[in-house]
Structure formats: C-alpha cells, structure tokens
C-alpha cells in the first residue's frame, strides 16, 4: 500500500514537472481543436463566475449551495485549462484572444491557473462553513485570480 502511494506521488511529481513545458501543436487541426476546447472551458468558467459576481454585487442573494457548486466546477475546470493550454498554438491561424505570451511565460501562466484553483477551493470551504462574513472576500479572490490572467494573457 505504501509503495503504491509513493509511486503515485512520484508519478504526479514527474507529470507536474513536465507540464510546465508547452508542446507545440502538431497540425492546424490540432491547434484549432485545442483552441476550441479551451474556449469551451473558459465559457463554462464564465457562466459559473457570473453568478458569483451577481451575488457579490447584491443583484441576487448569497446562496451557499450555489457558491459550493460553482466553486467545485471552477476548480475542476481550472485543472482542465492547465492541460489544454499546455499545447502551444503560437504560429497557427486560430481565432483566439489568448496572447502568445502564455507560451513564452508558461510557468507564470500555470501559477495564475493554480491561483484560480486555490481561490475556487477556498470559496468552496467558505461556503461549506457558512461564514457569511467571508463570502464576499472569497468570491473576490476568484475574480482577482481571473483578472491576473486576463490582464497579462488575454487580448483586449
């Protein structure tokens, strides 16, 4: 049992080490497909973040269950982003707002995705705990992490 756990940990460490380096798309089709997948994931992130923004602005009441659900979704989607942005589409004719800087600064970009993952995880914990005084700050952290990528890596 311990040997299996060690093997999983070592394997995960090796995978995370290699995932910092982007691999170029091998064809126009692959570049187009991965771009479409990224855009689909980001559309889902946006749909889940939008409800949280409405709560933070007071447009709709805070709802801990919705916060938990959306936080879990955002966390899972952020993990998918890391995978799909590992394919470098620089130099391909794809319609995207993603800047080439993503693949020039892959480690920083990955850190920003990790910040989104952590913020979503924290929001889930805050919502579970039901501490209403922490709802706004936790949602704010999710937005701050989104802004970190948008400011540096998304075309205006």
Q: Give the integer Cα–Cα distance in Å for 43 and 30.
A: 20
Write down the residue that tokens 């620089």 correspond to. Answer: 90
Residue 82 exposed, middle or buried by CB count within 10 Å (0-12, 13-18, 19+): middle
DSSP-derived 3-state class of residue 154: strand
- E strands of 11-124, at which residues? 23-24, 87-88
> Which structure tokens are listed for 134?
């922490």
Binding-site annotation, residues for heme c? 146, 149-150
> Which structure tokens are listed for 37?
């997948």
Binding-site annotation, residues? 146, 149-150
Whether the CB-CB separation of 109 and 153 falls below 8 Å is answered with: yes
Whether the CB-CB separation of 41 and 74 falls below 8 Å is answered with: no
Q: Give the integer Cα–Cα distance in Å for 125 and 89.
A: 36
């Amino acid at each position: 049992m311990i040997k299996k756990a060690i093997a999983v940990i070592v394997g995960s460490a090796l995978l995370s080490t290699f995932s910092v380096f982007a691999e170029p798309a091998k064809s126009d089709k692959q570049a187009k497909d991965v771009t479409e997948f990224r855009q689909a994931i980001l559309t889902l992130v946006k749909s889940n973040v939008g409800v949280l923004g409405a709560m933070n602005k007071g447009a709709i009441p805070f709802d801990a269950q919705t916060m938990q659900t959306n936080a879990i979704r955002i966390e899972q989607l952020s993990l998918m982003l890391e995978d799909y942005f590992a394919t470098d589409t620089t130099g391909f004719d794809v319609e995207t707002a993603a800047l080439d800087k993503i693949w020039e600064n892959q480690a920083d970009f990955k850190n920003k995705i990790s910040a989104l993952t952590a913020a979503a995880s924290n929001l889930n914990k805050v919502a579970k705990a039901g501490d209403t005084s922490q709802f706004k700050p936790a949602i704010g952290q999710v937005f701050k992490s989104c802004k970190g990528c948008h400011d540096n890596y998304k075309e205006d």
